[in-house]
Structure 1
Amino acid sequence: MELVHKIIFFMFGFIIFWGMVGYPFSLKVISHIYKNRKLVKDYNHQPTVTVMVVAHNEEKVILHKLKNLTELNYPKEKIEFLITSDNSSDSTNKIVNEFIEENKDINIRLYEVRERKGKTNAQNEAQKLVETEYLVMTDANSLLDKNSISELMAAFSSPDIAYVTGKLSIINTEVSDISSSESSYWNSDLAIREIEGNIQSITAGNGALYACRNKDYYNFDLIKSHDSAMPLHFVLKGRRAICNHDAIAYEKVGEEVGDEFGRKIRMNRRILEKIIPDIRLLNIFRYKWFSYFYFGHRTCRYLLWISHLLVFISNLMLVQHSIFYAITFTGQILFYLMALTKLVTKTDNKYLTLIYYYNVTIIAQWIGVYNIFTGKAKPFWEKAETTR
């Protein structure tokens, strides 16, 4: 049994290390090999575009969003706006209709989803109304830089690029230690995505701002999110999914741990499927760097919940066998105690906050797994008020 415990300890310990440290470091090394690969842009590429906004009970932000859309720097005769209200029961629809009435020179319309089935369903329904060449998706609480649409379109510089996501810039970084921790994580993730996209393809986008050709749109299962499903879908078809971080969307993240915790639970509603979403990804001869990217950036991180548990248990079984295992087990205990210290004392120490935030992420994964097995994983959710 000792050998089994050692195998478990080192195998799942490697998964934790590689996902959080090894893979990001390896990308920095690889990026030097491909240092001449940069995003090529074609600013003469200005096709017709529909900007779709899915909104459910967004009366607090929808007017600000509508005004923001009218300020975009893109030819007016080539852009239109489609607000998709996912069975809103507040004043969202009224506000949008009043805005349409007051701005008849703007090509904007409202589509009302009659039964709330979540964001992906709302997108699937509304896309059938789109006749433009390209489709841009953005969230109701995201404010777009005036050049964001031009930047997205410029990035479609070759036929093999099927998906382009922009950069989500967090605007409430300093409001709380939770928003600061999320911002730190997000900034490091953005750097990883840029390298992945320059070399081949990103493994996931973000819901704040992304685009695809309208003819390439695919009706995904309602429980799936475009953030993770779209890039993978296109890569498996031999296309590329990339990012253009000059296309910027500004957004708030949760300022309270409960808000970010809820968001992370929602993100993990299909965590088991995402570990290896398609067996074809194991074919490194066909998918090349993307197989490597997905294992390091997604598979290892989606396995953190079980990896931490198995490393802890196997380490406990080995603790009496050598000083090495005694030290690693003590380190684990201290790691979790530091997270508990942050929870109890509410200290502003940034290192304790990062450790606490990391543990919150792991717990959210566990709840995501629990929701899958109990049938509680749903395609819709209640928004975090501190993000509005």
Structure 2
Amino acid sequence: MISLYSLASVLFWLLAFVVFYTYLGYGIVIWVLVRLRRGYAAPPAQPVEPLPSVTMVVPAYNERDYLPAKLDNCLAQTYPADKLNLLFVIEGSTDGSAEYLASRQLSIPALSVISGTERLGKIVAMNRAMSQIKTDITIFTDANTTLNREAVSRLVARFAPPSVGAVTGEKRINTEGKESAAGSGEGLYWRYESFLKKLDAQLYTIVGAAGELFAVRTSLYEPVEPDTLLDDFIISLRIAQKGYRVEYAPDAYALERPSHSVSEETKRKVRIATGGFQAIRRLAPLLSVGRYGWLSFQYISHRVLRWAVTPFCLPILLLLNILLLTQPNVPPLWIGLFWAQVLFYIAAGVGYILESRQTRWKLTFVPFYFVYMNVCVLAGFLRYRRGGLSGKWEKSRRAA
């Protein structure tokens, strides 16, 4: 009969491996696989000819302050103007967005606007917009982001292979010296995510687009459920589910300011985590590695474990360690592991206190952000279990 000590020990090491694999091990594994396979996907050297027609869709609920800069940023793209259309979707906006865009339409023939007095939510607005788009490629981008001038051209170039159904650009966080730890952590997180996305694309496909900047073949778009929280993730994964690849274009980027404060960033992260659990349920077939192969392997390793498994492992690891300490003749290893966990969480707590005082210490920064992310996931799970989800939501405030 297996002893309690043996069972707890095996479970501890199994969960510890899951945590390690989720955050570091997968990056190592996929790096090795890419080297062994010598890269599945390579960006095309030249775009297809003739150049496809493109529509840039900008959902913008009460974003009047950002609209002038966003519109000018779209018009500054290097893509041929006769191939580029702009569609701003501002349903329900009450801040003068409709009036401003109407004034700009007089001098911009390529600009179209979908407006209305009722706010139905971003997803309903996007579905409505897509029903009117006739161009070959549709690019989604947020109103509060700035794109590099070559972004559209570089996204479109990645569609040269017929196997590519969607392309995601790179999200970059523009942080300044005294930004909050959560905001700076957001930048650190996205730099690591960009590294993993490059490897994902080289192995087979990206597993989830960045909503700040991503493009799809218009013909492959499927209307999304109105209560969907992570529309970019669902749209891109459903295209991948059809057998198309989601390519990565790190040279096409959307620059965004970090969240205004930890409370604003928490609101955003909890919403993303809630949407992650919703997406896992709606994309349940992708859990079948036998059916979807590399796509399922990447999806489970990069997304499912991070959202639905690892956050629950962390408190269990501490509880198991405490249980092992109650056994007779405890080996020094378990004592050391226990105090290592305790010190890690103390460091995270100190990091939180320092952050609230607008001070950051590198020794506590990583523990704080790691614990913070996983606590937000657990909060997102509770939010998902409560139900009553809506596609209508208030955006988090960004730093000025």
Q: TM-score range by the shorter chain?
A: over 0.9
Assess, with a 3 A threshold, how the Cα gap between structure 1 residues 261 and 148 changes in structure 2: closer, same or farther.
Answer: same
Structure 1 unmatched ranges of 5 or more: none
1:327 paired residue among 302, 321, 336: 336
Tell me what 1:317 maps to.
323
Secondary structure in 2 matching 1:304? helix
Show the 5 A alignment for 1:170-181.
170-176=173-179, 177-181=181-185
Show the 5 A alignment for 1:319-358.
319-321=325-327, 322=330, 323-346=332-355, 347-358=359-370
Tell me what 1:201 maps to.
205
Q: Which moved further from structure 2: 226-235 or 17-26?
A: 226-235
> Identity of counterpart residues, as a percentage?
25
Tell me, in whole angstroms, the C-alpha distance in 2 between the residues paired with 1:336 and 1:378.
34
Per the TM alignment, residue 275 of structure 1 is displaced from its structure 2 partner at its CA by 4.8
Per the TM alignment, residue 387 of structure 1 is displaced from its structure 2 partner at its CA by 4.5
Tell me what 1:159 maps to.
162
Tell me, in whole angstroms, the C-alpha distance in 1 between the residues paired with 2:59 and 2:374.
29
2:125 paired residue among 116, 122, 125: 122
Q: Which moved further from structure 2: 333-342 or 29-38?
A: 29-38
Per the TM alignment, residue 110 of structure 1 is displaced from its structure 2 partner at its CA by 0.8
- The answer as to whether partners of 1:368 and 1:377 remain within 8 angstroms in 2 is no
Give TM-score, length-normalised by structure 1: 0.93
Tell me what 1:379 maps to.
391
2:20 paired residue among 2, 5, 17: 17
Give TM-score, length-normalised by structure 2: 0.90
Tell me, in whole angstroms, the C-alpha distance in 2 between the residues paired with 1:23 and 1:328.
23
Structure 2 unmatched ranges of 5 or more: none
Letter in 1 for 2:68: L
RMSD, aligned CA: 2.0
List per-residue Cα deviations over 1:290-329 (Å, max 9, x = no partner): 2221222112211232111221222221123432222222
- The answer as to whether partners of 1:320 and 1:326 remain within 8 angstroms in 2 is no
- The answer as to whether partners of 1:276 and 1:299 remain within 8 angstroms in 2 is no
Q: Which moved further from structure 2: 114-123 or 2-11?
A: 2-11
- The answer as to whether partners of 1:50 and 1:130 remain within 8 angstroms in 2 is yes
Tell me what 1:212 maps to.
216
Assess, with a 3 A threshold, how the Cα gap between structure 1 residues 200 and 376 changes in structure 2: closer, same or farther.
Answer: same
Per the TM alignment, residue 92 of structure 1 is displaced from its structure 2 partner at its CA by 1.6
Tell me, in whole angstroms, the C-alpha distance in 1 between the residues paired with 2:168 and 2:219.
17
Letter in 1 for 2:294: W
Tell me what 1:308 maps to.
314
- The answer as to whether partners of 1:82 and 1:111 remain within 8 angstroms in 2 is yes
Q: Which moved further from structure 2: 81-90 or 227-236?
A: 227-236
Q: Which moved further from structure 2: 206-215 or 283-292?
A: 283-292
List per-residue Cα deviations over 1:2-40 (Å, max 9, x = no partner): 444334322322221111111112222222223354222
- The answer as to whether partners of 1:84 and 1:113 remain within 8 angstroms in 2 is no
Letter in 2 for 1:184: L
2:242 paired residue among 227, 230, 237: 237
Tell me what 2:47 maps to.
43
Question: How many residues end up aligned between the 2 structures?
Answer: 386
Tell me what 2:375 maps to.
363
Assess, with a 3 A threshold, how the Cα gap between structure 1 residues 348 and 279 changes in structure 2: closer, same or farther.
Answer: closer
